[in-house]
């Protein structure tokens, strides 16, 4: 059963568990590859996570001169292959969301690979498995559809993946309730 | 692209027009160059070691595969830019230092891990040493003659370079260079195999064909090569001719496979020198300022190159707010995304991004 990472942005409480969990994934060498941002830091405490959304047509891979960024059969856009990455940093400039990180010493780009050693076997990525508020979830397409019905918004913009992103992505992001004035009951 | 360029030039007058394709031209020039060097090296084809002719054919097939793969790779828009500008910037002051760090001492691999670096040094330099001995012998650019009993003359490109004692230290290193290389490669490959068997991440990601096959090929070459020496020294040459064919087979198969699998990163690695030169040169010239915070984050050249490359792939990130996403520095780009999600202009708030590294 194919599952996707699914983000419900307004649930985030800024605990940064996802960052800590990311460092603990096998191939991540204790460096996290995701971000948590204050939405309006001088006004309120709302935070939102930001991670690689695994574009269907990834700009990072398209701009890579060394073909170091491979796309896994599950749709995950992998971190640079260590033997191929030549350290040009094209991917960091190309990514519309500013996700890839670069290590100057190692001459190597690294980015979220959806914990491919886990997710290829259907195990949720580290971030999703620790998130305490269900901001990050690991769901099948049917479950995501059920979520959509549950909140029952009729403006057709429930999933932000297209209108608020630059292209189709494998990770699904929902439109925050805050923006729509909807109060969620947990 | 190609056709629009060629119509502006006078047709039929350049050297390129003599060849059907880029591939044909590279192939012709390389094989011709090899033939000329061999002609000189063998004193007009009088000293060819026909025992090694299989390697010669194998090398030429390898060159064909190499150009096929390299030219196909170089045609990708981002690669093309780096090759073109990298060649132009090849003679920078920093090039020797960069080249040494990237291609000789593998400093960046040291930063990735000492164990990793060690296996690379052993395999990499073992293979280079082996190639430096093998190819001159195959094309007879180097051979040994004995005029005087007990002394070898080393002939390099048809010139008598030096006389060495047949029992001397230089001669010993010449006979055993390939054995030393084989031991280095075997040690390195064993280190790699040990890591691949123990490291959980490696175990999750590796595949037999991509990650193990090249290692087994290297091991196959080194062991059959060492066996040749063993048969000579201990078994009085028993089965040596057969083993020499097996060894030859292993080398030729690896050579032909080299441009297509994991080992392809060897011929492609010099690109990292190009990339470093490109980044250094253009950031000295003019840096791009972030459209939101004004920080200089990348060279103007690279920013516009990336925008152009994405354009070739029909990817446009021009925003309604009047900028291309490639014109924002990375933190601003991330904040801009948050602002798109939330409707709050996060990227305009002059607050540094909160702790993004889970270091506690």
- pLDDT tens-digit readout, B74-120: 999 999 999 999 999 999 999 999 999 999 999 999 999 999 999 99
Question: CA nearest B145: which of B163, B130, B132, B169?
Answer: B163
In chain B, % of residues over pLDDT 90: 56
Residue partners of B87: CB distance under 8 A and separation at least 6: B274
Would you place residue B6 in the very low, low, confident or very high pLDDT band (cuts 50, 70, 90)? Answer: very low
Strands (E), chain B: 142-145, 151-156, 159-165, 287-289, 296-299
Residue B4 clears pLDDT 50, i.e. is over it: no
**Helix axis angle, B300-312 relative to B271-285, nearest 10°?**
120
ipTM of the complex: 0.90
CB contact under 8 A, B354 and A41: yes
Would you place residue B200 in the very low, low, confident or very high pLDDT band (cuts 50, 70, 90)? Answer: confident
- Quickly list DSSP for B88-104: HTTT-TTHHHHHIIIII
Mean pLDDT, range B146-154, rounded to an integer: 86
Would you state the pLDDT for residue B259? Answer: 92
Taking the Cβ of residue A38 and every Cβ of chain B, the question of whether any pair is shorter than 8 Å is answered with yes
In chain A the first and final C-alpha atoms are separated, in Å, by: 27
d(CA B207, CA B197): 12
Residue B233 clears pLDDT 60, i.e. is over it: yes
CA distance B48 to chain A (A): 38
Taking the Cβ of residue A74 and every Cβ of chain B, the question of whether any pair is shorter than 8 Å is answered with no
Would you state the pLDDT for residue B3? Answer: 44
- Quickly list DSSP for B11-59: TT-SGGGGSSSHHHHHHHHHHHHHHHHHHHHTTTTTS--GGGHHHHHHH
Mean pLDDT, range B202-223, rounded to an integer: 92
d(CA A162, CA A38): 23
Q: Are B86 and B277 in contact (CB under 8 A)?
A: yes
d(CA B18, CA B20): 7
Mean pLDDT, range B193-222, rounded to an integer: 91
Q: Are B358 and A32 in contact (CB under 8 A)?
A: yes
d(CA A171, CA A6): 6
Q: Are B213 and B165 in contact (CB under 8 A)?
A: no
Ramachandran area for residue B211 (φ above 0: left; ψ -120 to 50: alpha; else beta): alpha
Residue A126 clears pLDDT 60, i.e. is over it: yes
Would you place residue B160 in the very low, low, confident or very high pLDDT band (cuts 50, 70, 90)? Answer: confident
In chain B, % of residues over pLDDT 70: 96
Would you place residue A156 in the very low, low, confident or very high pLDDT band (cuts 50, 70, 90)? Answer: low
Greatest pairwise CA separation for chain A in angstroms: 51
Residue A102 clears pLDDT 80, i.e. is over it: yes
Taking the Cβ of residue B306 and every Cβ of chain A, the question of whether any pair is shorter than 8 Å is answered with yes
In chain B the first and final C-alpha atoms are separated, in Å, by: 52
Q: Are B337 and A50 in contact (CB under 8 A)?
A: yes
Ramachandran area for residue B12 (φ above 0: left; ψ -120 to 50: alpha; else beta): left
d(CA B176, CA B172): 6
Q: Could you say which of B309, B332, B349 has the minimum Cβ distance to residue A42?
A: B349
- Could you tell me how far CA B166 lies from the centroid of its own chain? 36
Would you place residue B322 in the very low, low, confident or very high pLDDT band (cuts 50, 70, 90)? Answer: confident
Q: Could you say which of B112, B309, B332 has the minimum Cβ distance to residue A82?
A: B112
Residue partners of B127: CB distance under 8 A and separation at least 6: B181, B185, B218, B266
- Give the total residue count for chain A: 186
Q: Could you say which of A62, A63, A88 has the minimum Cβ distance to residue B275?
A: A88
Residue A158 clears pLDDT 60, i.e. is over it: no
The residue of chain A nearest to residue B297, with distances taken between CA atoms, is A93
Mean pLDDT, range B337-350, rounded to an integer: 83
Would you state the pLDDT for residue A55? Answer: 92
Of A49-58, B280-289, B308-317, B318-327, give the lowest mean pLDDT range: B318-327
Residue A23 clears pLDDT 60, i.e. is over it: yes
Q: Are B141 and B157 in contact (CB under 8 A)?
A: yes
Would you place residue A30 in the very low, low, confident or very high pLDDT band (cuts 50, 70, 90)? Answer: confident
pLDDT digits (tens, 9 = 90+) for B244-253: 999 999 999 9
Q: Are B62 and B256 in contact (CB under 8 A)?
A: yes
d(CA B276, CA A102): 14
In chain A, % of residues over pLDDT 90: 52
Mean pLDDT, range A23-48, rounded to an integer: 88
Q: Classify residue B293 by burial, with Cβ atoms within 10 Å: 0-12, 13-18, 19+.
A: middle
Interface of A with B in 96-155 (CB under 8 A): 96-99, 103, 105-108, 116-117, 120
Q: Please, what is the average pLDDT of chain B?
A: 89
d(CA B103, CA B276): 13
Residue A162 clears pLDDT 60, i.e. is over it: no
Pick the more confident residue, B359 or B204: B204
């Amino acid at each position: 059963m194919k599952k996707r990472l699914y983000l419900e942005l307004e649930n985030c409480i800024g605990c940064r568990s996802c960052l800590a969990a990311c460092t603990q994934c096998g191939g991540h060498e204790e460096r996290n590859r995701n971000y948590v941002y204050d939405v309006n830091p001088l006004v309120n405490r709302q935070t939102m996570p930001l991670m690689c959304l695994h574009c269907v047509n990834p700009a990072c891979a398209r701009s890579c001169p060394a073909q170091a960024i491979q796309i896994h059969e599950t749709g995950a856009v992998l971190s640079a292959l260590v033997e191929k990455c030549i350290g040009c940093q094209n991917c960091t400039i190309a990514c519309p969301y500013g996700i890839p990180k670069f290590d100057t010493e190692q001459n190597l780009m690294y980015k979220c690979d959806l914990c491919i050693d886990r997710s290829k076997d259907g195990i949720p990525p580290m971030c999703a498995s620790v998130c305490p508020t269900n901001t990050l979830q690991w769901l099948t397409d049917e479950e995501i559809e059920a979520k959509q019905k549950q909140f029952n918004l009729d403006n057709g913009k429930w999933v932000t993946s297209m209108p608020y992103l630059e292209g189709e992505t494998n990770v699904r992001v929902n439109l925050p309730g805050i923006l729509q004035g909807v109060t969620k009951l947990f | 692209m190609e056709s629009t360029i060629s119509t502006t030039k006078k047709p039929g007058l350049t050297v390129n027009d003599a060849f059907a394709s880029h591939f044909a031209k590279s192939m012709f020039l390389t094989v011709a160059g090899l033939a000329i060097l061999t002609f000189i090296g063998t004193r007009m084809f009088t000293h060819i070691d026909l025992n090694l002719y299989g390697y010669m054919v194998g090398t030429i097939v390898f060159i064909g595969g190499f150009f096929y793969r390299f030219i196909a790779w170089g045609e990708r828009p981002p690669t093309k830019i780096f090759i073109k500008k990298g060649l132009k910037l090849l003679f920078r002051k920093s090039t020797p230092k960069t080249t040494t760090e990237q291609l000789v001492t593998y400093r960046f691999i040291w930063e990735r891990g000492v164990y990793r670096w060690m296996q690379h040094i052993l395999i990499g330099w073992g293979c280079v040493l082996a190639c430096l001995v093998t190819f001159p012998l195959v094309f007879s650019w180097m051979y040994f003659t004995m005029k005087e009993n007990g002394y070898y003359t080393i002939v390099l490109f048809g010139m008598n370079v030096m006389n060495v004692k047949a029992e001397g230290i230089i001669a010993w290193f010449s006979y055993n260079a390939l054995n030393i290389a084989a031991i280095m490669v075997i040690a390195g490959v064993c280190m790699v195999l040990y890591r691949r068997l123990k490291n959980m991440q490696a175990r999750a990601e590796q595949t037999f064909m991509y990650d193990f096959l090249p290692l087994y090929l290297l091991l196959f070459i080194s062991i059959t090569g060492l066996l040749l020496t063993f048969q000579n020294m201990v078994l009085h040459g028993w089965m040596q001719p057969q083993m020499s064919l097996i060894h030859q087979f292993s080398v030729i198969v690896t050579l032909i496979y080299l441009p297509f699998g994991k080992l392809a990163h060897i011929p492609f690695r010099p690109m990292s020198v190009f990339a470093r030169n490109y980044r250094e040169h253009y950031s000295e010239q003019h840096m791009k300022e972030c459209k939101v915070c004004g920080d200089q984050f990348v060279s103007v050249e690279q920013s516009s190159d990336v925008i152009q490359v994405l354009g070739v792939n029909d990817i446009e990130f021009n925003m309604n707010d009047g900028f291309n996403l490639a014109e924002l520095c990375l933190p601003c780009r991330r904040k801009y995304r948050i602002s798109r999600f939330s409707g709050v202009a996060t990227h305009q708030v002059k607050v540094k991004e909160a702790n993004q590294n889970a270091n506690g």
